[in-house]
Amino acid sequence: MAENRLFYAKAMQKILSKESSFAELKEEFCESEKGFANMLIMTALRRLSFIKEDVLPLFVKKKIPAKQKILEIILYLGITELLFMHTPEYAVINSYVEAGKSATDKFGANFINAVLRNVLRHKAELLAQKNTKYFSKEFLKILKQDYLPETIAEMEKFTGIEPPLDVSVKQGFSFCEGGTILPTGSVRFLANTKVKELERFDDGKWWVQDAASALVVNALFDLRGKKVLDLCAAPGGKTAQLLDKGALVTAVDISLKRLDVLMENIERLGLLKNLEIRCSDALEFQEDQKFDVVLVDAPCSATGTFRRHPEVIHLKTLDDVKKQQGLQKKILEKAKSFTLSGGLLVYATCSLAKAEGEVVIREFLAKNKDFQIRSIVLNGCEKM
């Protein structure tokens, strides 16, 4: 168990140092431990601001040397288990003490032991605090550009709530099996629902896709026989929607690995017939034909995914937003050249920062007078 805890600590260190993504690291977890490891690291990431700012300073008075940074990460996970999980307390302390010893030396073990036992002694009063601090200071800087404090506080409340599982269902197939059909057409299941245990997964009748993500294609007009360019397409949730609605899709992505995932998903769904795949940087993509619809699912800071990917709370900064905004503007300018006169250019991101959304669109329209905002009609309701 101690070896596993050290392995998870090293994994979290890689996530926080941007050395690897959580999605990549999850593939390295042994099958029998995947569920626990996922819950441990996700909980630690969600609670990290509280642990770093409100808990550790009470019990660690000196800064941990950079060369022993792993001890700090071990404490993040140990405190997470003591305060927010149901592992027996003696097992938590023993495991992380051994992890500290393996990572450094006897001093590391004694240090971990002293801190965790101190945390345990004060567990009740720590849990009695208002544990709603989830956002990092850098993440708050991003949000404060566009939102009032009360709005940010409402956002923050959702961080500690495990997100539900949403799926999109192929046309002509009715699928619920314990889920709730949302007004937008997505089917929602409880958090921690195991995907492959739901009926008809292998039959390719549905795919996992957040309801918010699905809105983009659901809002489009009749796509049967329409030529659609899907830029930055992988892993392919929107691509599947386009194909399912009868579009002729050219899917473009810079990552061959992610395109392999897209192909695997589309093949499972039996939607390969009208799909052409191109591996290319969106800015370097070349094509003679024009398209009825060009969908730019733009690379962004992904701040809007913080519930499902809490690492973004600790990794994203205003500089990331500015960097992505510059790239988004270039991709949008490139995309307009592939759009038929009278066609649709759709711009979507999963960012909360208006600098990556409304600002990009406003500046594009100011420079391109032949484009204009088109109303969205969803379930009979027109939206701007």
Q: How far is CA 222 from the centre of its chain?
A: 29
Helix (H) or strand (E) holding 374: none
- The pair of three-digit structure tokens given for residue 52, joined into one six-digit string: 């770093």
Compute the distance between CA of residue 316 and CA of residue 16 in angstroms, rounded to an integer: 11
User: Which residues in 347-369 are b (16+ Cβ under 10 Å) and which e?
Assistant: bbbbbbbebbbeebbeebeeeee
- The pair of three-digit structure tokens given for residue 71, joined into one six-digit string: 């001890």
Note if 350 is an active site residue: yes
Q: How would you class 215 by CB atoms within 10 Å of its CB: exposed for 0-12, middle for 13-18, buried for 19 or more?
A: middle
Q: Which of 176, 232, 300, 350 is catalytic?
A: 350
- DSSP secondary structure string, 249-316? EEEEES-HHHHHHHHHHHHHHT--TTEEEEE--TTT---SS-EEEEEEE-----GGGTTT-TTHHHH-
Of 144, 116, 135, 126, give the one whose Cα is nearest residue 59.
116
Cis peptide before 65 (omega within 30 of 0): no
Residues with catalytic roles: 350
